[in-house]
């Protein structure tokens, strides 16, 4: 399948990702969002998607591969806030 991204979102992604870790962070966030929706749909009996199990497996793999970079980016976002507050 094809994933389409709106222009505004693609501009934000380009501006936000200046390193490989930032790219991994974005992949983690998108995969987590897709995984959350896919898991919710899996629990609904009336939703039929033949590729649902494959989608969940791929999202889990992406999350596993990018989790460390995501954690580093989360810590990097917290440090400037803590310094500004004076903690």
Q: Return the percentage of the chain with pLDDT > 90, whole number.
A: 28
Tell me the pLDDT of the chain averaged across its residues.
84
Confidence of residue 86 (pLDDT cuts 50, 70, 90): low
The answer to which of 3-7, 65-69, 78-82 has the lowest mean pLDDT is 78-82
Average pLDDT over residues 53-67: 94
pLDDT in tens, 29-57: 999 999 999 888 888 766 777 888 899 99
Q: What is the pLDDT of residue 63?
A: 95
CB 4 within 8 A of CB 30: no
Q: What is the pLDDT of residue 33?
A: 93
Residue 24: partners with Cβ closer than 8 Å, 6 or more residues away: 65, 66, 68, 69, 70, 73
Instruction: Enter the tokens of residue 64.
Output: 């596993």
CB 21 within 8 A of CB 69: yes
């Amino acid at each position: 399948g094809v994933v389409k991204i709106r222009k505004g979102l693609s501009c934000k992604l380009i501006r936000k990702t200046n390193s490989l870790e930032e790219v991994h962070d974005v992949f983690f966030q998108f995969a987590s969002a897709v995984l959350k929706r896919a898991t919710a749909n899996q629990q609904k009996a009336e939703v039929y998607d033949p590729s649902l199990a494959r989608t969940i497996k791929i999202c889990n793999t992406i999350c596993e591969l990018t989790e460390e970079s995501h954690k580093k980016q989360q810590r990097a976002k917290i440090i400037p806030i803590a310094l500004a507050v004076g903690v």
